[in-house]
Amino acid sequence: MTDEEAIVQLYRDENEAMVNKDLNKLNEILTDDMHLTHMTGYVQPKFEWIDQIQNEEMQYLASKEEAIKAIQINGDKASLIGQNRVQAKIWGGGINTWPLQMRMYYKKQAGKWMITDQVASTY
């Protein structure tokens, strides 16, 4: 698998793990110091995000990929922009579907790509 294929696959794996509540997969592909910056501007640490998925404060119900673009790889760092239609129930709100754009950041550690940071917006 090329580096580009590996980072795209990680993006897809994360979306699938969010919907399936596969916390083990999320732990495996996210660095311990990963942060998710939400559309609200809130910067959430990895373990808080995973805890909220586990406790269903954040329920991801479906995710449909629409585009992956702006893939950049520079040595052991990489980034991409992914666009998915995400159906979710977040922090006590109702079920909504968002055109969610994620700017993903990666680093290669011991020969394996990991997600280090994510920034959410809409498109």
Measured CA to CA, the distance from residue 44 to residue 66 in angstroms comes to 25
Q: Which amino acid is at 111?
A: G
Q: What is the mean pLDDT of residues 81-92?
A: 95
pLDDT of 92 > 90? The answer is: no
- For residue 63, name the pLDDT band (cuts at 50, 70, 90): very high
In which band, very low, low, confident or very high, does the pLDDT at 94 lie, cut at 50, 70 and 90?
Answer: very high
Give the pLDDT band (50/70/90) at residue 107: very high
More confident residue, 93 or 8: 8
Q: Is there a contact between 84 and 63 (Cβ–Cβ < 8 Å)?
A: yes
Region 40-69 average pLDDT: 96
Alpha helix segments (H runs only) across 30-120: 46-54
Is the CB of residue 98 less than 8 Å from the CB of residue 89? Answer: no
- 28 contact partners, CB below 8 Å, separation of at least 6: none
Give the predicted TM-score (pTM) of the model.
Answer: 0.94
Q: What's the pLDDT score for residue 59?
A: 96
The mean per-residue pLDDT over the stretch 5-27 comes to: 98
Q: What is the enclosing helix (H) or strand (E) of 20?
A: helix 3-20
Q: From start to end of 1-123, where are the E strands?
A: 30-37, 43-45, 58-74, 77-90, 95-109, 112-122
